Amino acid sequence: MVQDEARALGVAAIEAQLAALGVRPGGVLLVHTSFRAVRPVEGGPLGLIAALRGALGPGGTLVMPTMTDGEAVFDPRSTPTAGMGITAELFWRQPGVLRSTHPGGSFAAAGPLAARICAPQPLAPPHGVDSPPGRVHELGGQVLLLGVTHGESTTMHVAESIARAPYSVEHPCVVEVDGVATTVTIPETDHCCAGFRRMDAWLSERGMQREGKVGGAHARLSEARDVVSVAVSHLADDPLVFLCHSGAGCAECDVARASVPLDARGAR
């Protein structure tokens, strides 16, 4: 522990790395992160959050996913995240941070545009144009991946929504209807998402992705509009481009393929 603390980067150092990577002061920044990859950082995850907010400055808006398992009625003031990591879990609990109200696909935001980003949205699709990541895209924000890949990027689902990807998988989610907990199914473009990692090469060859180190993590930074534009162009060529191939043994992508209408199965 003492050795880790001795090697820990301070908030100012992390902030400088974010600035060097290209995080835009006064901008909108959607962050997906694995603190395990970034650490050690002075102050732990809260230190990383401070560095992110510092790099954005007072005019910037920080956004993180705070999605839940949907197994109980969602309360944005108390329901913990599921699989989003400790940084996002601590972020939404900080004073002044807003959280959207989608029962399964919520996001948190802090900054001048937080209320706009966290405004009410339709149940489906959870990550379409009219959703927090969709609004980050609309506002010309950036997407920062810290120690994670495009496979964890919800912006990719925005692209699938815009491109009208032909696959749709329904997941149960508990909501409150007239004061009674009720299970509904929410359709979304769900699959294993490993195919999203192809975006690395597609963005890099176009000069649309900056990469570097933030703490101990490999970091990727892109404009949300670039991510969506490139993904939509590939989906136009092959609507199933991000699904694992048939026979690959991927159960999630097999379910997604099975949902595709027969007249749309000509793609690879």
Over the stretch 216-238, which tens digit does the pLDDT of each residue have? Answer: 999 999 999 999 999 999 999 99
Q: Is residue 135 classed exposed, middle or buried when 0-12, 13-18 and 19+ CB atoms within 10 A define those classes?
A: buried
CA 225/CA 141 separation, integer angstroms: 8
Which residues, in sequence order, are CB contacts of 147 under 8 Å at separation 6+? 33, 34, 35, 36, 37, 38, 216, 217, 218, 219
H or E stretch covering 174: strand 169-177
CA 257/CA 220 separation, integer angstroms: 29
pLDDT of residue 3: 41
Q: Roughly how many angstroms between the first and final C-alpha of the chain, as a whole number?
A: 50
What pLDDT band is residue 7 in, cutting at 50, 70 and 90? confident
103-151: pLDDT as tens digits: 999 999 999 999 999 999 999 999 999 999 999 999 999 999 999 999 9
Residue 198 has pLDDT above 70, yes or no: yes
Residue 267 has pLDDT above 60, yes or no: no
What pLDDT band is residue 255 in, cutting at 50, 70 and 90? very high
pLDDT average, residue stretch 236-258: 96
SS3 at position 244: coil
Residue 266 has pLDDT above 90, yes or no: no
H or E stretch covering 108: strand 107-110
147-191: pLDDT as tens digits: 999 999 999 999 999 999 999 999 999 999 888 999 999 999 999
What pLDDT band is residue 2 in, cutting at 50, 70 and 90? very low
pLDDT of residue 262: 78
35-93: pLDDT as tens digits: 999 999 999 999 999 999 999 999 999 999 999 999 999 999 999 999 999 999 999 99
Q: How far is CA 262 from CA 116, 158, 185, 191, 267, in A?
A: 39, 24, 23, 18, 11
Vertex 184 angle, CA 180 and 189, to 5°: 150
Residue found by looking up tokens 């820990």 in the block:
8
pLDDT of residue 178: 87
- Whether the upstream peptide bond of residue 40 has omega within 30° of 0, thus cis, is yes
Task: Read off the pTM.
Answer: 0.94
Residue 1 has pLDDT above 50, yes or no: no
CB 228 within 8 A of CB 143: no
The more confident residue out of 239 and 178 is 239
CB 184 within 8 A of CB 123: yes
Residue 263 has pLDDT above 70, yes or no: no
Q: How far is CA 216 from CA 9, 42, 144, 180, in A?
A: 9, 13, 15, 46
pLDDT of residue 75: 95
What pLDDT band is residue 5 in, cutting at 50, 70 and 90? low
The more confident residue out of 6 and 96 is 96
- Whether the upstream peptide bond of residue 125 has omega within 30° of 0, thus cis, is yes
CB 227 within 8 A of CB 199: yes
* Structural domain spans, the chain: 2-264
DSSP per-residue codes, 56-95: H-TT-EEEEE-----SS---TTTPPPSSS-HHHHHHHTST
Closest CA to 30 of 96, 79, 100, 82: 100
